[in-house]
Amino acid sequence: MKHLKGLMFLVAVVTVFLWTGIGSADEILIGYTGPLSGPAAEYGRDCANGVEMAVQDINAAGGVKLNGKSYLFKLEKMDDRVDPTQALNNARRMQAKGAIAVFNPVFTCIAALKKVNEEKGAEFILMGYTSTPKATEIANTLHISIPPPFTVYNSAFLDMAWKQGWRKAAMLITLGAYGDENRVDFKQYWEKLGGTITIDKPANYYTETDFSSQLTAVLSTNPDVIFAGGPSATTALVVEQARNMGFKGGFVFIDQARADYCASILKDKKLLDKTISVAAVDTIPFAGASAFNKRYMNTYKRINNMEAVQNYMAMQALAKAIAAAGKAGDVVAIRAAFPKAFPLIGNQFPTEAHGITQDGRMMIFPYAQMVKDGKPAAPEVYAWWPKTDKEFQQVKKVSKSTSPLIWKTR
């Protein structure tokens, strides 16, 4: 009995020790608001998964140490269903709880959040996942834009399409602000190359599942290639219906749509032959990509994509910026320390990020890839941020890419 009482006393002491947090790491709260239900839920979950996986990896490695003290990260996720007002409410609630940063993956919501994240006494770093160039045109001292601008993707895709000998292009791109911007950019760059746009027939990829009327109009112009895309699931339907209607030409997707995701939906993979899009994660030419891809698919039981990869990289950069700032709660100091978080190199990470631009966009590699005979060809890797050949040579020197880098300015 005496020994039992002693054991019970020891358990009580340990319990108090754990509950009071003595000797344990403090927490840094990170917020995520995005579409976790509704039409854009798959996209939103992929972005959130990338942040979550990075948090788990950083915590497993001991978190960040500041002045001899350890800090672990806690991620809080909230659904906003692509509603800017709800995103604003979510972000304010998370900031009130102490969140130093909030991730969001939709431009309309990011634009709304940019109006409040610098408010005195309620500041937070806005980690925005959107490829629209307008994201960095809205001045904000506490904003990070994560992916490459879609203008870089579009020019890479269209250069690849031009090399195929395609000259006549029809556009069947999703409706909405993001789709509208892409249509303008596709048209301008394609015509600059010397190509023609035979028809512009937008469709709502979020609500429609039958694209036969739009495709009838598109195919009547006899295009060599169709510029298409929105969410990958409905983009796959466009491809399938176009092939069933006899189209044998090529496809170029906007950066939102993924050929590998479409392939996972379509029974006949050869329907995607001659399709150009963002590369599949398992083909990225870095040692860290394969292991990350395997872990992601095992953890989330779903196909991996660039949304997860690039949000993972952004969270890793945020953690390193906190360590460089030496302060867990000073968002101004953390944002100022972001340039010190780089480079993040591909022998340790699934892709590479080499810095941050003056207007706050991460210098992260985009990839273009073509499907041939039902299989993805080796991806092309682009460095879009160097201003001079000297800067480009420095990127090449640091990078661990097993594929040649291409310098693409736009």
Count of alpha carbons within 13 Å of 359, Cβ hemisphere only?
10
Instruction: Give DSSP secondary structure letters for 3-26.
Output: HHHHHHHHHHHHHHHHHHTTTSPE
Beta bridge partner(s), residue 103: 32, 127
CB 342 within 8 A of CB 319: no
Spatial distance between the Cα atoms of 290 and 366, rounded to a whole number of angstroms: 17
Spatial distance between the Cα atoms of 141 and 333, rounded to a whole number of angstroms: 11
CB 92 within 8 A of CB 33: no
Helix (H) or strand (E) holding 36: none
Around Cβ 327, how many Cβ atoms within 10 Å? 16
For the chain, what are the domain ranges? Answer: 26-147+305-341, 151-254+259-283+368-379
Spatial distance between the Cα atoms of 13 and 20, rounded to a whole number of angstroms: 11
Spatial distance between the Cα atoms of 100 and 85, rounded to a whole number of angstroms: 20
Spatial distance between the Cα atoms of 22 and 167, rounded to a whole number of angstroms: 68
Can you tell me whether residue 90 is helix, strand or coil?
Answer: helix
Q: Residues 405, 313, 235, 295: is their CA dihedral positive or negative?
A: positive
| Residue recorded with tokens 């991620």 | 75
Spatial distance between the Cα atoms of 155 and 165, rounded to a whole number of angstroms: 16
* Contact residues for 21 (Cβ-Cβ < 8 A; gap 6+): none
| pTM metric for this prediction | 0.89
Can you tell me whether residue 255 is helix, strand or coil?
Answer: coil
Instruction: Compute the residue count for the chain.
Output: 410
Spatial distance between the Cα atoms of 130 and 272, rounded to a whole number of angstroms: 26
Q: Which two tokens stand for residue 197?
A: 């746009």
Closest CA to 47 of 283, 311, 305, 229: 311
* Contact residues for 216 (Cβ-Cβ < 8 A; gap 6+): 245
* Res 16: pLDDT: 37
* Res 24: pLDDT: 53
Second-level CATH architecture of 151-254+259-283+368-379: 3-Layer(aba) Sandwich (3.40)
CATH, range 26-147+305-341:
3.40.50.2300
CB 87 within 8 A of CB 33: yes
Preceding omega of 386 cis (within 30 degrees of 0):
no
CB 202 within 8 A of CB 179: yes
Spatial distance between the Cα atoms of 72 and 331, rounded to a whole number of angstroms: 17
Instruction: Using DSSP bridges, classify how beta strands 367-372 and 375-376 pair: parallel, antiparallel or unpaired.
Output: antiparallel
Main-chain phi, psi angles of 342, to 5 degrees: -115, 160
Eight-class DSSP state of 46: H
CB 76 within 8 A of CB 30: yes
Main-chain phi, psi angles of 200, to 5 degrees: -120, 105
Burial of residue 101, with CB atoms counted within 10 A of its CB: 0-12 exposed, 13-18 middle, 19 or more buried: buried
Q: Which two tokens stand for residue 242?
A: 């176009």
Around Cβ 254, how many Cβ atoms within 10 Å? 28
* Res 207: pLDDT: 82
Q: How far is CA 89 from CA 52, 83, 86, 214, 266, in A?
A: 21, 10, 5, 38, 39
Q: For each of the chain's 410 residues, which pLDDT tens digit applies?
A: 444 444 444 444 343 333 333 345 699 999 999 999 987 888 899 999 999 999 999 999 999 999 999 999 999 999 999 999 999 999 999 999 999 999 999 999 999 999 999 999 999 999 999 999 999 999 999 999 999 999 999 999 999 999 999 999 999 999 988 899 999 999 999 999 999 999 999 999 888 889 999 999 999 999 999 999 998 889 999 999 999 999 999 999 999 999 998 998 898 889 999 999 999 999 999 999 999 999 999 999 999 999 999 999 999 999 999 999 999 999 999 999 999 999 999 999 999 999 999 999 999 999 999 999 888 999 999 999 999 999 999 999 999 999 999 998 87
